[in-house]
Chains A and B, each alone.
Chain A
């Protein structure tokens, strides 16, 4: 149980393109979803926290106009990297948790490797 699907797994696109990444909880309703960015050989950096039906909460230093997050239902959140540039190339990972309170483990998608040419 607790499967999170992330799509696409790999994206290569030209500079200036906008890219949308989907994160779905397949067998549970996700009260909260999280978006992370991971640089090579580094830990995960939280970008934003997303609750269904409300605006995402962005971490300090993350541009909300650059990284648009939509959490329209309890099973789907999307991250759109707008006007992507080479410096946005990275591994993006989403996670979802079925409840609030901090004691629910996060379940992670398999990540999306984004390469901007």
Chain B
């Protein structure tokens, strides 16, 4: 079984400040990791994914995430946020041979002007 923990349910950040959204996972097998963003009343959009290789992955909209196997983490970062980044962010994990995604509970990022 696998699980995902997003400890921060809400993160307020001033515009142009950096942000880190935390994600920790638990799994007995090798995992694939994803970050999705959800804007109000919309589906989810893929921000970035880690499948293998370099542990630092870059995604869309200036976001990046780093896979840390020893700490079982996949934190999402952005050096300077914009108002348009206000949304719900979900971390998710799947594993080899299993397309099912296990989602975290989400983090609501609010950008303060």
Contacts and interface: CB of A to CB of B under 8 A. Distances in A.
A25 interface: no
Contacts of B34: 105
A3 B32 CA distance: 21
B43 interface: yes
Interface stretch (A13-21, A68-76, A77-85, A95-103): A95-103
B49 A105 contact: yes
Interface in A11-49: 32, 34, 42-44, 46, 49
Interface in A59-117: 93, 95, 97, 100-111, 113
A49 B101 CA distance: 11
Given A102-B32, A103-B32, A93 B44 contact: yes
Nearest to A44: B103
Contacts of B103: 43-44
Contact of A104 (B36, B42, B95, B99): B99
A30 B41 CA distance: 24
Nearest to A10: B41
Interface residues of A, number: 25
B106 A102 contact: no
B25 to A, nearest CB: 14
B43 A109 contact: yes
Interface string B19-61: 0000000000000101010000111111001010000000000
B4 to A, nearest CB: 9
A42 B107 CA distance: 10
Contacts of A101: 96-97, 99
B43 A102 contact: no
Contacts of B51: 103
A43 B104 contact: yes
A42 B90 CA distance: 10
Contacts of A97: 99
Interface of A: 4, 6, 32, 34, 42-44, 46, 49, 93, 95, 97, 100-111, 113
Minimum-distance CB pairs A-B, first 3? A108-B43, A108-B44, A102-B94
Interface of B: 32, 34, 36, 41-46, 49, 51, 90, 94-101, 103-106
